[in-house]
Amino acid sequence: MASRSRLRGRLVALIVIGWSAVASLAWAHGERTQEPFLRMRSILFYDCQWSTDRLKVNDELVLSGRFRVFDDWPIEVMGRPETVYINTGVPGPVFVRKESFLNGVNMANSTSLTIGGDYEFRVKLRARAPGTYHVHPLINVYYAGPIQGPGKWVTIEPGGGPFTNPEKTLMGQEVDLERFGLSTVVGWHLVWVAVALVWLVWWVRRPLFIPRYILVTRGAEDELVSATDRKLAAGLFVATLAIVVIGNYWAITKYPITVPLQSSRIRVKPLPRPAQGVEVDLVKATYEVPGRTVYLDLKVTNQSAKPVRLSELTTANVRFLNAAVAKDEPGYPRDLIAPSGLVVEPEAAIGPGETKLIHVSATDPIWETERLALLLYDPDSRFGGLLMFQDSEGTRYLSTVGGPILPTFNLKAL
Ligand code: CUA
């Protein structure tokens, strides 16, 4: 008996290990396969928030945050961000997007972004299908594809009733967009299916391939189409036109006022920036492969009126925090944060007007697990990231950093 239960225990362990291997494979659903340079040098998300990570069908989730359009945007590969669209990265229509804003501007349309600019987004979603999903903010960039923000697991539980999508029209009518006009859609499909079936059956009921092929090879293809066929074709043609015209008339009468889908491109100005910030020049960047550490030598000039310290390095949605300055953020996905991964030497603050060389190390296996270290195998091993400085009163200054990065294969190669 004892050996049998041990066997069962082993079997369970095996299944658990196997399942977690499968699950971890399934969880890496694409975001890590995107080229690291695309993720590090295009749109740098920060301050991302999910209003909740557990909600019921028909409840609302607000995705908000900011992003910086990286100064050294890879124009040679991606073109300029002339047409972008604020979107949501979720597996299928599990939410509906009720509204989205960029710097307070309604984002029903596409927009263009200014390279180097900061933008604030806000997307309101309504839960539609129960399940657990990785929810990302997402920016669709024409030519470049989707650039995803950080993903957080969000669980939608079944609600009291079925999903509804209530909306008030401009005429004041309350409609449920989930079902609005559904019978019309189904009805029109049936009408055209009927027309198609009549035409198909008319031809299919007669011998098809071989006899017709023989007629064609004999040069008697005229016999293929009879006078009745022509009459039916003409009749169907007239009927089709009549259905279209009558249908159009019916729609105009039933819905006299309609607004077409908006599909233009507008321009949104970046957020205003403080006149005096913190300037950063990259002196040297190395990636220590065995130690999974990025070392940065930076020349920092503090143009603000107060002493500042480096609190965070963020790139490709991964955050390295300087535990001495930044406080941990429990709401941020744990797999994307290294709460004490950033070490700054010397530790002392940079005084107002001072220019100082600092040495920064960002250590975490995240460089490998998020597949960012693959950057080193690119023909253009340039990285990018966002540095956050803070003064004693919590005022924050953002600076981008970027440039070529070299691998080292020896530990502590400073
Ligand atoms: Cu795809 Cu998270």
CA of 134, closest atom in ligand 1: 2
For residue 387, give Cα distances in angstroms to 281, 292, 315, 334: 11, 19, 9, 20
Cβ–Cβ under 8 Å, residues 311 and 359: no
Tell which atom from ligand 1 comes closest to the C-alpha of 29.
Answer: 1
Listed in sequence order, the residues at least 6 apart from 50 whose beta carbon sits closer than 8 Å to its beta carbon are 61, 62, 63, 135, 152, 154, 331
CATH pick for 178-254 out of 2.60.40.1220, 3.30.479.30, 3.40.50.720, 1.10.287.710: 1.10.287.710
pLDDT (tens, 9 = 90+) of the chain, 414 residues, equals 445 556 566 655 555 555 544 444 445 467 787 788 888 899 999 999 999 999 999 999 999 999 999 998 988 888 899 999 999 999 989 999 999 999 999 998 999 999 999 999 999 999 999 999 999 999 999 988 899 999 999 999 998 899 999 999 888 999 999 999 999 999 999 999 999 999 999 988 887 788 888 888 988 888 888 899 999 999 999 999 999 999 999 999 999 988 888 888 899 999 998 778 899 999 999 998 888 899 999 999 999 999 999 999 999 999 999 998 988 888 899 889 988 889 999 989 999 999 999 999 999 888 888 888 887 777 778 889 999 999 988 899 999 999 999 888 876 644
Structural tokens at position 202: 């008319």
Burial classification of residue 15, based on how many CB atoms lie within 10 Å of its CB (0-12 exposed, 13-18 middle, 19 or more buried): exposed
Residue 365: is the preceding peptide bond cis (ω within 30°)? no
Q: Tokens representing 166?
A: 């209530």
How far away, in angstroms, is 333 Cα from ligand 1 center?
A: 12
Q: What is the pLDDT of residue 21?
A: 46
- Residue bearing tokens 């009733």: 161
Residues 75, 80, 84, 86: is their CA dihedral positive or negative? positive
> Residue 282 CA to chain centroid, in angstroms?
29
* pLDDT of amino acid 414: 47
Residues in contact with ligand 1 by the CB-under-6-Å rule are 29-31, 89, 134, 136, 151
Architecture of domain 26-169: Sandwich (2.60)
Partnered with residue 153 across adjacent β-strands are: 134
Instruction: Give pLDDT, residue 8.
Output: 63
In the reported structure, the alpha carbon of residue 198 is separated from the centroid of ligand 1 by a whole-number distance in angstroms of 46
- If you measure from the C-alpha of residue 89 to the centroid of ligand 1, how many angstroms do you get, rounded to a whole number? 7
Distance CA 370, CA 413 (A): 23
d(CA 129, CA 364): 36
Per DSSP, which regions of 6-71 are E strands? 43-50, 54-56, 60-69
Distance of CA 328 to the CA centre of its chain: 25
Ligand 1 centroid from CA 255, angstroms? 40
Residue 31 CA to ligand 1 center (angstroms) comes to 5
CB distance 286 to 407 below 8 Å: yes
pLDDT for res 281:
95
Q: Same topology for domains 26-169 and 178-254, yes or no?
A: no
Q: Which atom of ligand 1 is nearest to the CA of 151?
A: 2
Q: Could you tell me if 269 and 103 are in contact, meaning their C-beta atoms sit under 8 angstroms apart? A: yes
Of the candidates 68, 125, 44, 92, the residue with the CA atom closest to the CA atom of residue 319: 44
Domain 278-413 class in CATH: mainly beta
pTM: 0.82
Question: For the chain, which residues make up each domain, given as ranges?
Answer: 26-169, 178-254, 278-413
Q: How many residues are listed for the chain in this entry?
A: 414
